[in-house]
Chains A and B, each alone.
Chain A
């Protein structure tokens, strides 16, 4: 795939956001808020950063991705479909009986899913394991683990953080989709993660922070993280907004696990229209 410009990546992210809404609206369920918050991160990874080929989803040398916040499948599946891992029409089967697209990622059912997840807090450990095997086989592939902020309340995350920091596990890049909202309230109201960067630094990680919706900043931060990961694990705190791109979903916990109804869908899609189209209409 040729290298895409920042503008083109932004356009991909907009298309993915529209696909997310189409997917959850059609299914009548799904985690819309967290999928919209991770959309730019997934776009940057799958369309710019990661060394992957949809024709060879099991290539041993490929970069790996783990959706540790496994409920945010609408964002993940639409990205995989858009990147060509499977036909986009499969998105219409999301969460249906017999679908290749389960509520949470299944490595045996969905092309492009590197490992199954769904119970929060487990992804980082899986990512370390993938890197340990990469090290043993002299394969320098990178492993990217996308985590939720609420997820970081799980104890296993800190067991994994301790291990990777102490052992200086290389080529491991974790990203926190730091949208500050979880299922039933804000993170602060639920259990504060204040000074999250300091926590990771104390565990021996290199920490980078960026605006998780500024594509240029995101791409640059990811590129820098990949370089730094040659020395040990890196955590990127990507500051995001839950429900990003749809005004009435932004920052609202009620959109954590909900799909838009017909009216909400129409209103949301209007907000995510092609800006050029919009201009043409005004002319």
Chain B
């Protein structure tokens, strides 16, 4: 089980370590600055910042947060169509075991950026920016569409899947040189009925893949939850006994039938029903569900778990969940019971289990 967590919040980056008595927490960078996501790979921590005034920035630490060096953040080139300017780095992922120098960044507006030198330089993946469907993309909770989920296929890391709010789900099989839109079966009630199955305007809130069964993916969509068994080409809507709105989803890394979601009342409200927070879990691919509440507040709770706010560790038993109102919980038993770590953190944007920190 992973004993270390990195928490990206509106007021800085926190590192947590599991000790016998609970989790020890310390601020390791960017006090007072929004950290929109964090990635630790190969001994390096990458932190994405959003200065409201000064824009999106990227920093790197080679000593687990003792010191930081600013990297040149990705930027749209001057000749990019429609004159975009980077608003936020939304997600960062590695290129995989066979591409140790490669990193991916998904941004708002929905630019995909690739680095082949561990983050020192970045290029806009123009082939995606220039797909004709981009004219139909639009913002989901932001002024512009954004890429929040990126997943190289562990079997072939040049095959890269990504999800865009609101721009559907896409795949490249050649490390980003060309792209196909996927997502048959997704349904959008927020557009006129004749457009509801248009792949290019779907709003996946978050998509995650089962690491050991990479054709299996789980999606929390703006209007429902879905599962795919063919790497995102087709999706089947699931029917949990709870609300099926939310933002986050976690996939068991080893068991393709297991996933977790965090329901909220749908889109006009976006809060736990009846002030009672729960996490749902399926062990059979979505046919049946456990609704898990033990250790979670069951009255007067207004926590919302945002897209990158739920994570399961590599063993599939420990979970971490952080809310937009600054509460952080962990579970040691696959979500069946939870313990509050801290209710007074800044709003939490992302939680990530990492290997041992210094």
Do A and B assemble together? no
